[in-house]
Amino acid sequence: MYQLFYCRTYALLICLFLFRSGPTIQFARADIGMASQYVPPYTPTACYGDDRSQFPTSNLFAAAGEGTWDGGAACGRQYLVRCINGPKRGSCKPDFQTIRVRVVDRAQTSVSRPTKEVTSLVLSNTAYMTIADPSVPFVNIEFWYCFASKEQLTIPF
């Protein structure tokens, strides 16, 4: 009887803590995958057609691979992406920078073809060059779906 009481009390305290903490607690899970790059022309896209306003001014955007596409729900999602290694030494930029990209297209149907088929994300030329050597056709990446606005962003590593 007492054990049940303590378990319920403990569970209640955890729930109260999480409720009281509100949006300051963010749970993130990194996925591991591959990224390749694609170059202009980028339009039309599967998400927004010919609308030029779909592209961030930073030019850090991506096309979603089939595992990330999620039946089109990936459109507009933002991911943190970090290069972890590649097929040769020096594939990743030395500072292992993490970038934020916005999904604007589907890799399978993109106008411009990726440097490697069947990847998690196909990064714009600018995005790819920011984290990897552009002469390498693909790199292994760690990527997280962004839940927070840019001001609230905390990188989970």
Give the residues across from 26 on adjacent strands: none
- pTM value is 0.77
- Domain range for 79 is 31-148
What is the residue-level pLDDT of the chain in tens, covering all 157 positions?
Answer: 544 444 454 444 444 444 454 444 444 578 999 999 999 999 999 999 999 999 999 999 999 999 999 999 999 999 999 999 999 999 999 988 999 999 999 999 999 999 999 999 999 999 999 999 999 999 999 999 987 554 444 444 4
Q: Name the nearest CA neighbour of 157 among 35, 14, 20, 32.
A: 32
CATH number, domain with residue 63: 2.40.40.10
Q: Name the nearest CA neighbour of 79 among 58, 61, 67.
A: 61
Q: Quote the number of domains for the chain.
A: 1
Q: Does a structural domain hold residue 63?
A: yes
